[in-house]
């Protein structure tokens, strides 16, 4: 087991998934430049407040697995907890390799004060997180993880247990019940004077600042949530700006105050897959070509300030998404992820025609 401590080790750490998944029909290679950016400890704002130690496993002289141990003091202060996390886990189908990787991350985290270890998070719940345990028969949606079927068994055999499950729903536009959605939305907009608008690209940073405040407030009671720093939120927004469709980035306002936020992204994975992780020499052209035919999206964020959660604001968001999906000729969207115990959200999505089709799991050691 080798801790990553130099540029060569970082390159091997980043390169390993591209070799491991090269024959997997459902894996979507992330852009290499984006992965490199995420592990730039000097520039990426996550690393301004967190510590990450990467490890590599070798077998017969070849890289056989990787893992990152993650300490996030912001999370521990927010939850009054001594937690550590692991992420970016990848392994060949070998229990000895997987066990050694997980032990290395756990030992490093415990040495640095963690009493409980959870994961995978890449590198927090604000990014890709969870391990796919159900729904291996389709590609992952944008900013959702993917892994081989054997991964859950590797973690279970290493002694990890379920902490929480995260669900993904698929909502086909032709299965939505517009009368029901519009009825609830109409009540919200009439009685509570809720108005829905899309993000202003000519005032992008101003709207992002408003959304950041709502994001940290609306999700503050969610299990596993960690507030994003302003720098981190702006960095992520800048990254998303090139792929977002303004019509799918919605803000809910009451008397000029932003009380809710919903973010939909076109499923850019459909365009990234043919690029095989590279922008050059032809990757960018492939992305631009396939981007034109994307007809599905992912609603990855939908949150409302606590005092407005019974006002039908979420239904107003759904109604607006339905109208905009129809106008943009989208066929449907993934709604992910939703905590397994978020009963109100599950009922709402199901009532509007959503079908659960993937399950992701966050594990833990005590």
pLDDT in tens, 238-247: 999 999 999 9
pLDDT in tens, 110-149: 999 999 999 999 999 999 999 999 999 999 999 999 999 9
Q: What percent of the chain has pLDDT over 70?
A: 95
Which pLDDT score is estimated for 208?
A: 96
Residue 3 Ramachandran class (φ > 0 left, ψ -120 to 50 alpha, else beta):
beta
On whether both 317 and 185 belong to a single domain, the answer is yes
In a domain, 269, yes or no: yes
Burial 230-252 (b: 16+ CB within 10 A, else e): eebbbbbbeebeebbbebbbbbb
CA distance 169 to 179: 21
Among 135, 167, 199, the domain boundary falls at: 167
Among 167, 194, 213, the domain boundary falls at: 167
Cβ pair 271, 294 in contact under 8 A: yes
On whether both 137 and 280 belong to a single domain, the answer is no
On whether both 313 and 195 belong to a single domain, the answer is yes
Closest CA to 182 of 84, 316, 293: 316
CA distance 224 to 366: 16
In a domain, 186, yes or no: yes
In a domain, 364, yes or no: no
Determine the structural domain holding residue 28 and report its residue range.
2-167
Which pLDDT score is estimated for 349?
A: 87
On whether both 104 and 181 belong to a single domain, the answer is no
- 175 pLDDT tier (thresholds 50, 70, 90): confident
Across the chain, mean pLDDT equals 92
Which pLDDT score is estimated for 15?
A: 98
pLDDT in tens, 6-60: 999 999 999 999 999 999 999 999 999 999 999 999 999 999 999 999 999 999 8
In a domain, 366, yes or no: no
What is the SS3 assignment for 220? coil
Closest CA to 45 of 227, 239, 226, 235: 235
Indicate the length of the chain as a whole number.
366
What CATH number is given to the structural domain containing 215? 3.40.630.30
On whether both 156 and 30 belong to a single domain, the answer is yes
In a domain, 365, yes or no: no
Q: What percent of the chain has pLDDT over 90?
A: 76
Which pLDDT score is estimated for 311?
A: 63
Which pLDDT score is estimated for 308?
A: 81
Query: Does pTM surpass 0.85?
Result: yes
Among 167, 200, 226, the domain boundary falls at: 167
On whether both 90 and 117 belong to a single domain, the answer is yes
pLDDT in tens, 52-97: 999 999 998 899 999 999 999 999 999 999 999 999 999 999 999 9
Q: Show the tokens assigned to 322.
A: 């339905």
In a domain, 249, yes or no: yes
Indicate the range of 26-30, 263-267, 303-307 predicted with least confidence.
Answer: 303-307
On whether both 201 and 121 belong to a single domain, the answer is no
How many domains is the chain partitioned into structurally? 2
On whether both 158 and 147 belong to a single domain, the answer is yes
């Amino acid at each position: 087991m080798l801790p990553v401590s130099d540029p060569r080790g970082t390159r091997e750490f980043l390169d390993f998934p591209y070799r491991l998944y090269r024959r997997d029909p459902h894996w979507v290679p992330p852009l290499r430049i984006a992965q490199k950016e995420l592990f730039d400890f000097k520039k990426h704002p996550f690393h301004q407040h967190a510590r990450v130690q990467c490890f590599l496993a070798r077998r017969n002289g070849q890289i056989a697995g990787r893992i990152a141990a993650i300490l996030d003091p912001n999370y521990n202060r927010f939850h009054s907890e001594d937690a550590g996390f692991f992420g970016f886990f990848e392994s060949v189908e070998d229990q000895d390799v997987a066990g050694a990787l997980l032990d290395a991350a756990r030992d490093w985290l415990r040495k640095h004060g963690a009493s409980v270890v959870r994961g995978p998070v890449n590198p927090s719940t604000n990014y890709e997180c969870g391990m796919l345990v159900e729904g291996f028969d389709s590609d992952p949606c944008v900013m959702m993880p993917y892994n081989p079927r054997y991964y859950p068994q590797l973690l279970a055999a290493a002694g990890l247990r379920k902490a929480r499950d995260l669900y993904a729903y698929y909502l086909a536009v032709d299965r939505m019940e517009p009368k029901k959605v519009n009825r609830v939305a109409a009540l919200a907009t009439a009685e509570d004077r809720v108005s829905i608008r899309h993000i202003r690209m000519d005032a992008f940073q101003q709207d992002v600042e408003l959304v950041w405040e709502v994001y940290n407030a609306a999700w503050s009671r969610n299990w596993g949530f960690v507030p994003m720093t302003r720098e981190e939120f702006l960095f992520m927004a800048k990254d998303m700006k090139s792929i977002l469709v303004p019509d799918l980035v919605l803000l809910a306002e009451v008397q000029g105050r932003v009380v809710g936020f919903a973010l939909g992204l076109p499923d850019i994975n459909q365009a990234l897959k043919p690029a095989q992780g590279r922008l050059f020499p032809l990757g960018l052209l492939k992305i631009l070509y396939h981007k034109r035919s994307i007809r599905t999206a992912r609603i990855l964020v939908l949150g409302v300030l606590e005092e407005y959660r019974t006002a039908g604001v979420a239904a107003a968001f759904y109604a607006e998404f339905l109208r905009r999906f129809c106008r943009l000729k989208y066929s449907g969207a993934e709604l992910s992820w939703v905590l397994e115990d978020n009963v109100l959200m599950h009922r709402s999505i199901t009532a509007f025609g959503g079908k659960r089709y993937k399950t992701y799991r966050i594990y833990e050691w005590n």
